[in-house]
Structure 1
Amino acid sequence: MLLNLVKISLKQQYFDQVMASKLVDQLTAMEDQKKFEHVSAEKAAQMITDFLRSETHDKHFNISAYTSESITQEVSKGPQLSAAGISDYHIEKNNIGYIKWNSCIAGEAAFQEFRKVLDKLAGCSSLIFDLSENAGGDGASSAFVNQFLYRDKSYQTLLRKRCKGEKDWHQSEVIFNYTEGPTFFDKPIYIIASKQTFSAAEYFILTAKEMKRATILGDTTAGAGNPGSSQGIRSPDTDTIFWLFIPNCEIITRNGHSIEGAGVKPDVVLRGKNWLTQTLDYVAKATR
């Protein structure tokens, strides 16, 4: 069942249909060779994920198998997030605002929550966005936040997208032009990134770097640049849930640059454990 779901999803969703056909044929050959016999659903899902990523070099491919109980346990282990995907925000010494942004969540509730955070940090001299553990999500969240950070609106046309079945590239950024709210146009922005910074979170960082709007500190991001769609399906008469994420689009900058497989490199490399302390030290030196 899992193999059939993956094959159908590749044919219906993957943006490169020539490659999709090859992947389907190879998965069928693996099945004929009995590569998945006597293998658990979880192990089979990992094998398929590893195969898809190795063949395409696309980190967004993700095939998983869970039980309902394991999902509940996994969720309970993570940090408590607000409606905006924020786990912490406060004002550091020297009046520096800090936002620990763990997940890119869009929607009216998320936007209202992010507005509240920005309102409370409006008087800060500079802002630190910590995306070192942000696995991505909905890119509209970045578009919403960006409107409060950029006076120059040309950032809105920086990213271009092309999805399955489309011949032409088109604007990727969702446009928000609120007339009310705090503005940080002239305040220095610093972003903490890591190898765990993924997908939509990477594009927030890429935009800031390409527009020379922020200093990026930490490590090179994951390089998962191709967005996609997910689906979850329960296996009949079992407690197993299959979750599939298949890339269905490509994104590049207007100059043709892609982060797929490359990520976004930091301006300042951080080592060790306490990256916030290192970032605060860097900001203090930069503002002297």
Structure 2
Amino acid sequence: MNRLVLLLSLLLIGGAVSAQPLTTAERTQTTNATLALLNDRYVFPEVAKRMDTYVRSRQRTYDTITDGQTLARQLTSDLRTICHDKHLTVNYFPEGVPSEQLWQKTPTEAELTAQKAAMQKGLLRENFGILGLSVLKGNLGYLNFKYLAPPEIAGDSYVAALNYLAQTDALIIDLRQCGGAISEHAIPLLCSYFFAEPTHLNSFYWRDGNRLVQSWTYAQVPGRRYLDKPIYILTSRQTFSGAEELAYDLAQLKRATLVGDTTGGGANPGGTLRINDRFAAFVPVGRAINPITQTNWEGVGVAPDTVVPANRALYAAQLMAVRTLANKPGIDPDWRAALLGIMGELERTQPRYVTHSFVLKGHANAHDVRVAGSFNDWSAQANRLVRRGDAWVADVEVLPGKISYKFIVDGQWLTDPANPRTEGDGQYTNSVFDIAER
């Protein structure tokens, strides 16, 4: 089963869904159909039964729900109360569930073509998930992912990126904003460049057929492999699912050093399945089993080797990489002197963060409020606000200078009503302020 089809859903849906009336019959049918689907497909049958019992015990709560979006949100919340599975999500589509977003066990040629075309269209606009590619001082390669795309669509770009970085002396892979993989083949492709021989990365148990499927690197890759060079992986609480697998696999194989924060904790792969005409659910139908640990990161996340706040992880990894290279036996004396100079420069110019309080008044009935901006690479997940009195508040570390930002209220992006200063036009209008060093 294709992992994290949910990411494609997020790419295609975009913005918030407005509330739509829901009849009592529709609400009851949706709830019953959701529970039946989970009893039939969720990876842990005994947990599915417990979710069924819990949701039915909360009938009075559901009796008050009159719109589809609220029902989807309530089902997701109640189901996760029991399973604690961050992959499990109920989604509402007021115009009907798009067929290209659904996982099909035996899709027709036409269904495959439509799904691939929809995926290609969405991923191309985001450069197949590549947020950044560069060579940093000290000849350090840097590759930043938002998600890991299918090789049949993004393979040429991924191969080109890895070959561009082949001459660097160390590699930093930034997964701090990476929400997962859209294909089970993305991680083996990337990891194949880091091992000389086929290597067992992971295994997956699938409830359907009671199967265990192994995931290995490839015997051959286009271009040069990246061997015997240090690799650093940057992580955050937003690093999730397939991104966590990439970090976990390489860490267990002693092929990478993880730097940052503990990851999100989602190790149960699955797909988007239809509940009825207007509801669908991402249902985990399998679980990861690492060949070394015989377990996975579900619910606990992947712990970094070096723990630092996520916004400081790149700086920490750069410093570690340059220091490692400068102390490498047999290094050219002139290059070592240059690296020591770069290390001194990094130490003198380390980021000086200040704490700023983002405040959004009102929106008392909102369920999820976040702030995104230039300080977190416009991540819609990184900084969540909490309710304090009559406002939503988040204390965030930012670098001094000009800050661009927006609030996200239940999926809807808003400028700051308390801040009249803006830049940009239309949907690209952002709130702006300047913050001085302290």
Instruction: Quote the offset at 1:283 in angstroms.
Output: 1.6
Contact 1:232 1:242 in 2 (8 A): yes
Match of 1:148 among 193, 217, 221: 193
Structure 2: gaps spanning 5 or more residues = 1-28, 96-122, 327-438
- Quick one: structure 1 residues 80 and 131, their matched pair in 2 at CA, closer, same or farther if it must change by over 3 Å? farther
What amino acid maps onto 2:246 in structure 1?
A: F
Alignment partner of 1:3 is 2:40: no
The match for 1:139 is: 184
2:296 to 246, 251, 258: 258
- Per the TM alignment, residue 89 of structure 1 is displaced from its structure 2 partner at its CA by 0.6
Whole-angstrom CA distance in 2 between matches of 1:107 and 1:79: 13
Instruction: Describe how 1:83-162 pairs up with structure 2 within 5 A.
Output: 83=128, 85-137=129-181, 138-154=183-199, 156=200, 158-162=201-205
Could you tell me how far 1:96 is from its partner in structure 2? 0.7
CA shift in 2, pair 1:48/1:171, >3 Å = same
Return 42-51 or 185-194, whichever deviates more.
Answer: 42-51
Query: How many angstroms apart in 2 are the aligned matches of 1:243 and 1:104?
Result: 23
What amino acid is the match of 1:149? F
| Residues 1:229 and 2:271 are matched in the alignment | yes
Equivalent pair of 1:218/1:270 in contact (CA under 8 Å): yes
Unaligned runs of at least 5 residues, structure 1: 69-77, 236-240
What does the per-residue CA deviation read over 1:95-134, in whole Å, with 9 as the maximum and x for residues that have no partner?
1110111102113221111001111111111111000011
Once the 2 structures are TM-superposed, how far is the Cα of residue 186 of structure 1 from its aligned partner?
1.3
Query: Which amino acid in 1 is paired with 2:205?
Result: R
- Measure how far apart 1:27 and its partner are: 2.4
Query: 1:30 matched to which residue of 2?
Result: 58
Distance in structure 2 (CA, Å) of the matches to 1:124 and 1:115: 15
* TM-superposed deviation, 1:8: 3.1
Partner of 1:242: 279
Which residue in 2 is equivalent to 1:18?
46
* Shift, 1:143, TM fit: 0.7
Q: Describe the superposition over 1:50-108 as per-residue Cα deviations: whole angstroms up to 9, x where unpaired.
A: 2111201222111123557xxxxxxxxx996213x211111111111101111021132
What residue in structure 2 maps to residue 217 of structure 1? 259
Q: Structure 1 pair 36/182, CA: closer, same or farther in 2 (3 Å)?
A: farther
Q: Distance in 2 between matches of 1:139 and 1:224?
A: 15
Q: Give aligned-pair identity as a percent.
A: 25
Aligned CA distance change for structure 1 residues 175 and 128 (closer, same or farther; 3 Å): closer
When Rg is computed on C-alpha atoms for both structures, the one with the higher figure is 2
Alpha-carbon separation, structure 2, partners of 1:192 and 1:7: 38
> Are 1:47 and 2:74 counterparts?
yes
* Equivalence for 1:284: 322
Q: CA deviation at 1:14?
A: 0.5
Query: Does the Cα contact within 8 Å between 1:104 and 1:139 map onto a contact in 2?
Result: no
**SS, match of residue 94 in structure 1:** coil
* Structure-1 separation of matches of 2:65 and 2:80: 23
TM-score by length of 2: 0.57
Which digits, 9 at most, give the CA deviation of each residue in 1:240-283, with x for residues without a partner?
x5341111011112242221111110011112634322321222
The aligned residue for residue 72 of structure 1 is none
Greater mean deviation of Cα atoms: 171-180 or 117-126: 171-180
Matched position secondary structure for 1:198: coil
| In structure 1, C-alpha distance between the alignment counterparts of 2:296 and 2:323, rounded to whole Å | 32
Contact 1:125/1:187 (8 A) holds in 2: yes
Q: Counterpart of 2:242? A: 200
Aligned 8 A contact 1:218 1:268 in 2? yes
Contact 2:198–2:216 at 8 Å: present in 1 too? no
CA–CA distance in structure 2, aligned partners of residues 10 and 197 of structure 1? 26
Task: Give the SS at the match of 2:263.
Answer: coil
**Aligned residue identity for 1:159:** N
Cα RMSD after superposing both structures:
2.5
* Alpha-carbon distance in 2 for matches of 1:79, 1:49: 30
SS of the residue corresponding to residue 300 of structure 2 reads coil
Separation of aligned partners in 1, 2:224 and 2:33: 46
CA distance in structure 2 between the aligned counterparts of 1:233 and 1:113, rounded to whole angstroms: 36
1:286–1:2 distance in 2 versus 1, CA, 3 Å: farther
> Residues 152-192 of structure 1, C-alpha deviation per residue, up to 9 Å, x if partnerless?
433x2x42221114446x23315533253121011111100
| Superposition misfits of 4+ residues, deviation over 3 angstroms | 165-168, 231-235
Q: Secondary structure of the equivalent of 1:173?
A: strand
- Counterparts of 2:46 and 2:271 in 1: how far apart (Å)? 19
Tell me the TM-score normalized by structure 1.
Answer: 0.84
For 1:172, what is the secondary structure of its paired residue? strand
For 1:38 and 1:233, how far apart are their aligned partners in 2? 18
